[in-house]
Amino acid sequence: MNRLKGKTAIVTGATAGIGYKTAELLAEQGVHLVITGRRSDRLQEIKKELESAFGVEVQTAAFDVRDADACHSFVDSLSVTIDILVNNAGLAKGTDPVFDADFDDWNTMIDTNVKGLLYLSRLIIPGMKERNSGHIINLGSTAGHESYAGGVVYTATKHAVKAITESTKKDLHGTDVRVSMVSPGLVETEFSEVRFDGDKEKAADVYKGMKPLVAQDIAEIIVFVANRPAHVNIMDTVIYPTAQSSATMVHRNA
């Protein structure tokens, strides 16, 4: 049963990867969209594509979720009621140990993965609470369940997303607003290229000799979570590719 048709969703970080595929699959279900990201031209391409293919309304907003003032301006400019907020924008930068890492990388991850998610949640949730309806879906990671060497701040940010998700649900206890998280393992998107500053060879090595998840896999689960009956709140889903059993256990073919 499609319970999503006619609703409106914000998807952050929608210009590529999981965000783009989530927007596409939501549009396929008849969900109107507000898609955000930093690449204005790409957002306009996606808008035309989804409106043409699925007949939904798509609004775009090009800004950086790290910018609190930009988040305020974005929410103030909204002319539609938001039923679903998919906090997808996020990234990893570097794999250096704590004693040798770059401060700018740390700030980028914390400001995007934690503060950006918090900014939009803080600004969107009051309307949901007032209407006693809505759904927050945060993009977590298996890194939010297990830390690993070389990921001190990235794993910390995803542990934070887990804590934020759980605390937000408790803050909204007694309302009908739902709060969920989706926690992927290895997904082949632009993620690793960003982590390695555009080094495609290093990025490819992350997935070498194994079959990783793809953005479609995670987008399907996000849509499944959003499409549950109103009395069902899925708090978290942990998704590994079959070849992965933990952050450091990945079976690779020779």
Query: What are the catalytic residues?
Result: 154
By C-alpha distance, which of 211, 21, 241, 251 is closest to 142?
241
- From the centroid of its chain, how far is CA 220? 13
User: Residue type at 68?
Assistant: A
| Rounded-to-integer distance, Cα 8 and Cα 86, Å | 11
Would you report the helix, strand and coil content of the chain in percent, each value rounded to 5?
45, 15, 40
DSSP state of 32: E
DSSP state of 142: G
Tokens of 149: 């060497």
Extended strands (E) in the chain: 8-11, 32-37, 58-62, 84-87, 134-139, 177-184, 187-188, 213-214, 236-239
| Rounded-to-integer distance, Cα 196 and Cα 154, Å | 13
C-beta separation of 103 from 53 below 8 A: no
Tokens of 181: 């998280």
| Rounded-to-integer distance, Cα 167 and Cα 194, Å | 29
| Rounded-to-integer distance, Cα 136 and Cα 22, Å | 14
Residues 6+ apart with CB under 8 A from 175: 129, 132
C-beta separation of 191 from 197 below 8 A: no
